Structure 1
Amino acid sequence: GSVCASTLSMLNAGVPLRAPVAGIAMGLVSDTVDGETRYAAMTDILGAEDAYGDMDFKVAGTSEFVTAIQLDTKLDGIPASVLAGALDQAKAARLHILDVMAQAISEPDEMSEFAPRIITVRVPVDKIGEVIGPKGKMINQIQDDTGADISIEDDGTVFIGAVDGPSAEAARAAINAIANPHMPEVGERFVGTVVKTVAFGAFISLSPGKDGLLHISQIRKLVGGKRVENVEDVLAVGQKVQVQIGEIDPRGKLSLEVVEDNNAATAGDDSYDDSDDE
């Protein structure tokens, strides 16, 4: 019962099984008749048959293979022919159970976004170092940001283990942004993270390994066009801000613009003091 229930529950959760598995418990009774020991195998035994019988033989498997067996016996030995007969009975019962299970659910449902999973990504071998980063800085950052566990093989196969779908996909996107990058285009919008402030503006991380400069002239738009003496009065490291790419120079450096309907820098607006402008 537990084997069948496990198969049904995993299919219902969307787990991609190679094949459904069912289990059956076989029993055995024996007695001496006219000086000869005779045996009778029983299919799908109950508790009393287990307690008073001579054997508890559990067989689990798919329609093609036996995947697990477990046998307890009170006898000193069981003839091979008797066990072979019990296995034949177990197969017939298993196939019948699998047919009944297939009537309930025959294919995996769509996997719930809340289900744990392991997914793989292939990256070019020459990009492995970029994904890992100096002293593991980049891969550790991705793991901290997404909550996923990431391991990389020498052939470029990346295994991502996560407790749910969004975490796994966030890690996949971050890795692809480094190893299989999407080339940004002018006008493309991002919700970026402030990673550094300088006198002339702030550097915004758009994706792992891809930063752009938000000039101080653009930062003024976050405070209604007022003069900004110190970038730190408006933006702080770690703060989210909605930006778009305004220009890409021949070297690939990105100049960013504030999106006019930006609400992401409210913390900066609240902390900004415009008394110096009066």
Structure 2
Amino acid sequence: MFKSQSCFWDCDGFNSDGDRFAVLSDILGDEDHLGDMDFKVTGTDKGITACQMDIKIKGLSYEILIQALEQAREGRLHILEKMTDTIEVPAETIKPHAPKMISCTIPNEYIGPFIGPGGKEIQNLQRETSTTIVINEDPDTQEGIVEILGTDQEGIDKVLAKIDALTFKPEKDEVYKVKAIKILEFGAVVEYLEAPGNEVLLHISEMAWQRTNAVTDVVNVGDEFE
């Protein structure tokens, strides 16, 4: 979410003989073809956030660059002033179907399970949520950086919920509500209700204070308990 208004400004340069030059400020594009320099700047009233330059000549003097930056600053501040007259602060939320990108991290040991064999899990998740999911590894922390792109906020939220459920770790001495999803001779497989898909084995010896001969004496598939 943007915390302040930002805008884009374009400057084009003409340098006919190496000594004389002109820097034109525009937001159209006609000069891109005719000029020797195309310099785009975007930023806020606090400074530049990004810039990009194309030049057709061999070099660029500091004088031209300084003038281009100054003109871009003046133009940017002028447009920002007009924008602020209409929209004083950026909107807290964006339109429901506007493109969105959410970034979060996932511990390295969960990257494999999240992707699944041959990418099966992540492909199914993308299909179910109408999102695009990109995972890169941070070389410093070794964590996975997950970027979720989509237009449906509900779909993005489902991906985030999936990550939360996958990486959920119960804390010692805390009480959690679980649901029995499979019965075995020696225990039951249960999943945390607050982290669907996160499954653990509850051994028969941990089901009751007294001795239990059969798992089904205490719990059956579908039962919810703490």
SS in 2 for 1:183: coil
Amino acid at match of 2:47: F
* 1:1-278 equivalence runs, <5 A: 16-17=1-2, 21-29=6-14, 38-44=20-26, 46-66=28-48, 67-74=50-57, 79-102=61-84, 103-104=86-87, 106-109=90-93, 115-120=100-105, 132=109, 140-141=112-113, 144=116, 159=144, 161=146, 163=148, 164-178=156-170, 180=171, 183-184=174-175, 188=177, 190-194=178-182, 196-198=183-185, 203-207=188-192, 208=198, 210-212=200-202, 215-217=215-217, 241-245=222-226
Q: Distance in 2 between matches of 1:141 and 1:53?
A: 53
Q: Distance in 1 between matches of 2:147 and 2:34?
A: 47
Change (3 A) 1:158 1:71: closer
Change (3 A) 1:191 1:93: farther
Paired residues of 1:117 and 1:165 also in contact (CA < 8 A): no
Change (3 A) 1:54 1:110: closer
Change (3 A) 1:152 1:143: farther
Any gaps of 5 or more consecutive residues in structure 1?
A: 1-15, 122-127, 133-137, 223-234, 236-240, 246-278
Q: Distance in 1 between matches of 2:167 and 2:136?
A: 10
Q: Distance in 2 between matches of 1:143 and 1:47?
A: 44
Paired residues of 2:3 and 2:90 also in contact (CA < 8 A): no
Q: In terms of Rg, which structure is larger?
A: 1
Any gaps of 5 or more consecutive residues in structure 2?
A: 126-132, 149-155, 193-197, 208-214
Tell me the CA shift for residue 41 of structure 1: 1.9
Which stretch shifts more, 204-213 or 39-48? 204-213
Q: Distance in 1 between matches of 2:56 and 2:67?
A: 16
Change (3 A) 1:160 1:59: closer
| Deviation string, structure 1 residues 154-183 (Cα, Å, up to 9, x no partner) | 97x9556263222223322442334x4672
Tell me the CA shift for residue 79 of structure 1: 4.4
Paired residues of 1:205 and 1:211 also in contact (CA < 8 A): yes
| Deviation string, structure 1 residues 15-43 (Cα, Å, up to 9, x no partner) | x35765432211234668xxx95433211
Which stretch shifts more, 45-54 or 82-91? 45-54
Q: Distance in 1 between matches of 2:224 and 2:81?
A: 56
Amino acid at match of 2:37: M
Instruction: Report the TM-score, using the length of structure 2 for normalisation.
Output: 0.56
| Deviation string, structure 1 residues 233-253 (Cα, Å, up to 9, x no partner) | xx6xxxxx24223xxxxxxxx
| Superposition RMSD in Å | 4.5
SS in 2 for 1:177: coil
Percent identity, aligned pairs only, is 19
| Deviation string, structure 1 residues 87-127 (Cα, Å, up to 9, x no partner) | 11111112233344554462552696994433247xxxxxx
Tell me the CA shift for residue 193 of structure 1: 2.6
- Number of aligned residues: 186
